[in-house]
Amino acid sequence: MSLDSNQQVFINEATELLQELEESLLELENTPDSSDLIARVFRAMHTIKGSGAMFGFDNIASLVHSIETAYDMVRNNIMDVTKPMLDYSLKACDIIREMLADPDIKADSPLAVEITDYFSRAANIQNQKLPDVQPERDSTARGELHTFRITFKPSLNIFMNGTNPALLLKELREMGSATIITHVSDVPPIDDIEPEKCYLSWDIILTTDKNENDIRDVFIFVEDDAVIDIKAVDEAFDDREKKLGEILLERGCLTESQLSEVLNEKKRLGEIMVEKGLVSAEAVDTALMEQAHVKSVQEKKAHASETASSIRVPSERLDSLVDLVGELVTVQARLSQIAAQRNDADMLKVAEEVERLVWELRDNTMSIRMLEIGSTFNRFKRLVRDLSIELGKEIELVTFGDETEIDKTVIEKLGDPLVHLIRNSIDHGIEKPEERIAAGKPAKGHITLQASHSGDSVLIEITDDGRGINRKAVLEKAKSKGLVAENAELSDREIYELLFASGFSTAATVSSVSGRGVGMDVVRRNIEALRGTIEINSSEGVGTTIVLKLPLTLAIIDGLLVTIGGQFFILPLSIVNECIEFNRSENKSGSGRKIIMVRNELVPYVPLRSFFNIKGEEPDIQQIVIISVDGRRVGFVVDSVVGDHQTVIKSLGKAFKDIDCISGASVLGDGSVALIIDIMKIYNDIG
């Protein structure tokens, strides 16, 4: 099946809807009585079915039809949400994804038939249980905005039963957007007023997502002691503005003939009707109030629609835009350099203005690439649910910092490492309920995903409250595999580092989840490919925390420009601690070890000139760039430090892709190329 552009748009929208639907279903499992969640699930199903049928995805429309019917019955309180219903709904999400990826999959596949049969049977069983005459249900559903016209006229003696009308009006205000007008026409002269009696009445225009029954519940204790009239004004959301005469006609304040007579006179409509005694001034005020309220609601709705509007752009175009901005940054640097060399005041002024505009363009373009990490976090709720059921465990996933933004490229490459880490927490970390209870823990375990900004990086913490890492078992396994000497004594940090060795696993048996020794080494490799770091902390019997530190973006970074042998190199500025002067003659070590004393601390260093085998005479005075990773400090010797540099990362191309310890390149303002050093690769190679 070849797809046209409209069908591709449907696939993109359906994919987003499926993600929202899956999140709603998982939330519904915890709160099955939530009318808002039920409405969200139904609307998502309804949209997928309708759009699928419109764009030729009849297989999806056929599958979703019976599911939508069942959730419509749930929405109308005919059926209850059950675990099997949620299980089959989540399976339906999976098969719909497959149908979107391969539209030729038929709706009569075994799993699709099983899902359809389940929902059809469930709906038929409930229909057979229904009485012949069903009670009339409220016509206005929760979850959608409706406007109601409410008249509340309490009896004179309403105060006698302890009722305060002001509290009822306050409760109505809390239900939505309310406009209230007080009628005082029944208030007698002051000498005749009896303080214990209520002479006031009210008209309320309420726009709310609640239904009529919810509004009547506000007056449940006074309905026998007041005149209460509630009328839905659904047409209040028409595009046109309702006129005063129409509202008064609807309220029954005057007839059509009286309205026609008044319209022939050249005065304000309300004034004429009051002068002729057709309606009271209060009735006109109330109608005007309703008119203003509806107009306000329409304006807010229009504004919300405008502010929520968005445009869908293919990611390839966005990547192309970022590349062009990168080229512009390079050209701007060249312009600034030429302007400085010529020392032309006018040219310098233009260069500064171009620089300002380019930086604004760069920042705005990079912000477009930034996505909230919450969408990635929510994907794992399904993973945790399914694996915990498979392993017979009770586990809840908790997320914090969902609004934290990170570059879309980082997010795309972060999925697999997080899957490995979460699967490990589920399989190795969290104990089974009986083990947890025996250890004095609650039966249900928790995995927490938390994201936060830290300078120009994002910290992602994966924490479980499981059994923790058995350091003794890890060390013994490492010794048995020959990774460390038999008499080795390692610190906790060094023991945790062993977990990243290729093929390392402490699992006694291989399961469908883990135990093959494939995972943690891949995780580290993927994280370091993103120029990130990974750190493990654990307490036996308490739990484990894994911290990932990742750059905000991979397209443009802050770098430190240095020279070695007349060539330019760039180091990522985010991990640089400091730069210090290095005198080659004064820092010769008799033992030949490459270490230097920095503020009473021994710091090992790597001479990058010899590391990259760059020929030429070394200057007597060099610079050491000191970085900090995992609490360790390491120095890198360079000939000189030029300064910080906004680095537009360029790939080296296929011919140079296997160059060791070089992660990319950047074009400088004068057109020369600076290689970006993969500091983390060198750091790991030297141990």
Judgement on whether residues 674 and 576 belong to the same structural domain of the protein: yes
Q: Is residue 136 part of a domain?
A: no
- DSSP state for residue 133 in the 8-state scheme: S
What local confidence, expressed as pLDDT, does residue 573 receive? 83
Same domain? For 123 and 28 the reply is: yes
* Strand pairing category for 621-629 and 576-583: antiparallel
Same domain, 561 and 679: yes
Main-chain phi, psi angles of 558, to 5 degrees: -85, 125
Residue 356 burial class via C-beta count within 10 angstroms: exposed 0-12, middle 13-18, buried 19 and up: exposed
Task: Return the CATH number at 265.
Answer: 3.30.70.1110
- Residue 585 has a pLDDT of 66
Give the model's pLDDT for residue 378. 84
Question: So what's the pLDDT on residue 563?
Answer: 92
Model pLDDT, residue 515: 45
Positions in the chain short of pLDDT 50: 132-141, 235-241, 266, 305-308, 510, 512, 515-518
Kindly state whether residue 649 falls inside one of the protein's structural domains.
yes
Query: 544 and 396 in one domain?
Result: yes
For residue 55, what pLDDT is reported? Answer: 76
Domain membership of residue 194 as a residue range: 146-305
The answer to whether 576 touches 525, Cβ cutoff 8 Å, is: no
Residue 316 has a pLDDT of 80
Domain termination residue (choose one: 351, 371, 391): 371
Query: Looking at residue 473, which CATH number applies to its domain?
Result: 3.30.565.10
CA distance 587 to 635: 13
CATH of residue 578's domain is: 2.30.30.40
Number of H helices, E strands in the chain: 21, 21
Parallel/antiparallel/unpaired status of strands 405-407 and 370-372: antiparallel
Domain assignment present for residue 311? The answer is no
Q: Are residues 562 and 664 in the same domain?
A: yes
> Are residues 487 and 466 both part of a single domain?
yes
Residue 582 domain-assigned?
yes
Q: In terms of DSSP bridges, do strands 395-400 and 445-454 run parallel, antiparallel, or are they unpaired?
A: parallel
Residues composing the chain = 687
Q: DSSP characters for 5-39?
A: HHHHHHHHHHHHHHHHHHHHHHHHHH-TT-HHHHH
First to last CA, the chain: 54
pLDDT of residue 517: 44
Residue that terminates a domain, selected from 371, 399, 418: 371
**Helical (H) or strand (E) element with 118:** helix 110-129
Specify the number of domains making up the chain.
Answer: 5
Non-local CB neighbours of 320 within 8 Å, separated by 6+ positions: none
Q: Which long-range contacts (CB under 8 A, 24 or more apart) does 167-173 make?
A: 168/218, 168/219, 168/222, 169/202, 169/204, 171/218, 172/204, 172/206, 172/215, 172/218
H/E element, 427: none
**Could you write out the three-class secondary structure of 59-72?**
HHHHHHHHHHHHHH
The predicted pLDDT at position 263 comes to 55
211 & 236 share domain: yes
In a domain, 198, yes or no: yes
Only one residue has tokens 């309804």, namely 46
Do 252 and 276 belong to one domain?
yes
Neighbours of 610 (CB within 10 A): 11
User: Closest by alpha carbon to 520, among 657, 396, 401, 427?
Assistant: 427
99: CATH: 1.20.120.160
Q: What pLDDT was estimated at residue 638? A: 92
Could you report the per-residue pLDDT of 313-352, keeping only the tens digit for each? 777 888 888 888 888 888 888 888 888 888 888 999 999 9
| Residue (of 130, 659, 605, 92) closest to 382 by Cα position | 92
Examine the domain organization and report whether 560 and 540 are in the same domain. Answer: no
pLDDT value for 137? 42
- Asked whether residue 448 falls in the same domain as residue 541, the answer is yes
d(CA 341, CA 335): 10
Q: Residue 652, Cα to own-chain centre: how many angstroms?
A: 33
Residue 377 lies in a domain: no
In-domain check, residue 310: no
Domain presence at residue 37 = yes
Query: Is the same domain home to 390 and 539?
Result: yes
Is 351 found in the same domain as 282?
no
- Domain closes at, from 254, 277, 305: 305
